Amino acid sequence: MAVSTNDLKNGMTLDLPEGLFSVVEFQHVKPGKGGAFVRTKLKNVRSGAVVERTYRADEKLEQAIIDKREMQFLYRDGTDYVFMDTTNYEQLQVPPTALGDAASYLKETDEAVLQIYDNEIVGVDLPAAVELKVTDTEPGVQGDRVSGARKPATLETGLIVQVPLFVNPGDMLKVDTRSGEYLTRA
């Protein structure tokens, strides 16, 4: 579907010859001399690279319609992740490369929103924080109370995060899915 550069909005996805891009920022500029133009900052949906482009006012660009589906992660089948659509119970096998970093935060029965374009997964929306169980970490040493001291902990999904010394194996932790940092004990 063609859309005018005058109608751009933040978050809109465009199908450009270079690939799929999301509009991060745009500015309509009307100089005193010459024609108006639109200065944009676009983020590549697949690679995350940010580029700046300038278009003439009212230039037509191709808009990509992204289908966002609420899915539940069921189990791993070999290396693939099996998701179930929560509306029609259809199952979908997803390779770990399509999930990217999101695979480190998913455990069975977790909900995620998969962004699909032309039967290809282009993004995954996770909750801001997830609760994961610590499977392995060194014990905190008595008397080692340096303020802000941290140690590595392996979580049930295989993700390794830096945690405070008082965290023990078996503890449930809240982890930020955007930065991958420890937030608090759950």
Residue 143: pLDDT over 80: no
**Percent of the chain surpassing pLDDT 70:** 95
Class level of CATH domain 67-125? mainly beta
pLDDT for residue 14: 87
Whether residue 183 has pLDDT greater than 70: yes
102: tokens are 């999101």
CA quadruple 122, 110, 96, 118: dihedral sign: negative
CATH class, 2-62 region: mainly beta
What pLDDT shows up at residue 142?
A: 62
Instruction: Kindly state the tokens that stand for 142.
Output: 């008595």
Which is more confident, 147 or 40? 40
**C-alpha Rg value of the chain to the nearest Å:** 22
154 to 64, 78, 186: CA distances (angstroms): 39, 21, 16
What is the tens place of the pLDDT at every residue in 74-92? 988 888 888 898 888 888 8
Structural domain spans, the chain? 2-62, 67-125, 129-185
Q: Point out which residues pair with 94 in neighbouring strands.
A: 81
- Asked if 2-62 and 67-125 have one fold, the answer is no
Into which CATH architecture does domain 129-185 fall?
A: Beta Barrel (2.40)
pLDDT digits (tens, 9 = 90+) for 6-54: 888 888 888 888 888 888 888 988 888 888 898 999 988 877 788 998 9
